[in-house]
Structure 1
Amino acid sequence: MAAGTPVALGLSPARRDALTRRIRLLVAATIAYNVVEAVVAVTAGALASSTALIGFGLDSVIEVSSAAAVAWQFSAPDHTAREAREKTALRVIAVSFFSLAAYVTVDAVRALAGTGEAEPSLPGIVIAALSLAVMPFLSAAQRKAGRELGSASAVADSRQTLLCTYLSAVLLAGLVLNATLGWSWADPIAALVIAAIAVKEGRDAWRGEGCCAAPAAAGPARRQEPDACGCRPGCDCCG
């Protein structure tokens, strides 16, 4: 398990097993949805020469690899083995984010330089709107279970799912502006926003941030750095 992320305090073995099963189910649902999302987004993006849509589709591919890393971690036969796999899972998540950011940045700059102009994409608008509706629920459920279990990788993966919500909003705005006002430059700008968010989330995953295993009764002391559960000032799961 990542440094500073201990076993969740006060959990019975039965509760820990229940949370582990819940995370496995949520990860499976995330993988299934993102496979469909990736196929639709990348195909629509290629047809419309949309950097933002292709980047969004690649993020879906990366989210599948992230969820698969968490699934691999939680497939271990016992808690000790899962703990040993957590750092590797976090590294996979982080590297995935950085790879996405690099690709999208290069392609967005190329588009802004005038080497390609995105066309309107109705399928892209539909998949972006659907993801905007679906992803917050998957993210919240996995984050809640991950926090209670004290798993940094599960929380990091839930943050990547939440990132998909932000990306969906950015993508939807860019696609709608292009379709209604003919602002083709909105597409690569949306892609650059996607890249910037991916860099931040990759950095947080690499550091193992985003999980807090201490009980809520710990109060304000949990916001000191470093505390027993590795929380840092501003950590969004410590509140």
Structure 2
Amino acid sequence: MPGATTQAPGAAAEAPAGVGTVRGQVLVRRVRYLVAATISYNVIEAAVAITAGTAASSTALIGFGLDSVIEVASAAAIAWQFSGRDPQARERAALRVVALSFFALAGYVGVESVRALAGAGEAAPSTVGIVLAALSLVVMPVLSHAQRRAGRELHSASAVADSHQTLLCTYLSAILLAGLLLNTLFGWSGADPVAALVIAAVALKEGRDTWRGRPCC
């Protein structure tokens, strides 16, 4: 995308601007902390969402929990990249993992949305799910913005790509919250899978762009 400060895989041998400076080291540590926070939050989020989703027979909640598992895998790839002395040398491999996590998310959300629309089952209202979705709607944009900012300054395409994965969770949180509220208040469960299909399309595009080494935004 014009104006983006990411680095293509073909330039992986070049050191990103600023990494050898004091500011660069501060940013590397910041990315590590943000990734650790993202992993910690998503592990808790996955456990709560899958447990609550199973209790309520909610494919949306279970899917949201599995999305959190995928995000942990993506964040772990970035943690691995920035754990080495030369993060740029691991850039291409980390990008591949992030891209594959987008594809996995798109595939799962798409299939489960179609199943829900085909009448695979009706979910019971879930207060726990509503609280979790609302909390994630607040936490995820903050983590995403901070990681994207640091990634851009480091010229790290993988860190920026992972921030998009976190931001995508924000969209899923909003959709999940809307679906759970509509189900609780009006007994209408069709809104969530329809909107989730849009998110699946976005995730597919993000995965394609990340695989090519040029995540958007």
Q: Deviations over 1:75-95 (max 9, x none)?
A: 112x2xx22211111111111
Larger radius of gyration: 1
The answer to whether the aligner puts 1:26 opposite 2:31 as a matched pair is: no
Letter in 1 for 2:10: A
Match of 1:103 in 2: 108
2:197 to 192, 197, 222: 192
The answer to whether the aligner puts 1:114 opposite 2:119 as a matched pair is: yes
Letter in 2 for 1:96: S
The answer as to whether partners of 1:22 and 1:145 remain within 8 angstroms in 2 is yes
Aligned ranges 1:73-84 → 2 under 5 Å: 73-77=81-85, 79=86, 82-84=87-89
SS at match of 1:3: helix
Deviation at 1:4, TM superposition (A): 5.0
Match of 2:147 in 1: 142
- How far, CA to CA, are the matches of 2:149 and 2:97 in structure 1? 22
Q: How many residues align?
A: 209
Aligned ranges 1:33-72 → 2 under 5 Å: 33-72=41-80
- How far, CA to CA, are the matches of 2:36 and 2:196 in structure 1? 27
The answer as to whether partners of 1:147 and 1:155 remain within 8 angstroms in 2 is yes
- How far, CA to CA, are the matches of 1:37 and 1:194 in structure 2? 19
Letter in 2 for 1:47: A
The answer to whether the aligner puts 1:3 opposite 2:10 as a matched pair is: yes
TM-score if structure 1 supplies the norm length? 0.82
Letter in 2 for 1:91: R
Letter in 2 for 1:68: A
The answer as to whether partners of 1:120 and 1:178 remain within 8 angstroms in 2 is yes
- How far, CA to CA, are the matches of 1:7 and 1:180 in structure 2? 54
- How far, CA to CA, are the matches of 1:205 and 1:126 in structure 2? 31
- How far, CA to CA, are the matches of 2:150 and 2:131 in structure 1? 30
SS at match of 2:108: helix
Deviation at 1:188, TM superposition (A): 2.3
Alpha carbons of 1:102 and 1:11: their partners in 2 closer, same or farther (altered >3 Å)? closer
How much is the aligned-residue C-alpha RMSD, in angstroms?
Answer: 1.7
Deviation at 1:10, TM superposition (A): 5.4
Q: Percent identity?
A: 69
Letter in 2 for 1:16: G
- How far, CA to CA, are the matches of 2:127 and 2:18 in structure 1? 50
Match of 2:3 in 1: none
Q: Deviations over 1:168-191 (max 9, x none)?
A: 111111111111010022232243
Match of 1:94 in 2: 99
Match of 1:177 in 2: 182
Structure with more contact order per residue of length (Cα contacts < 8 Å, sep ≥ 6): 2
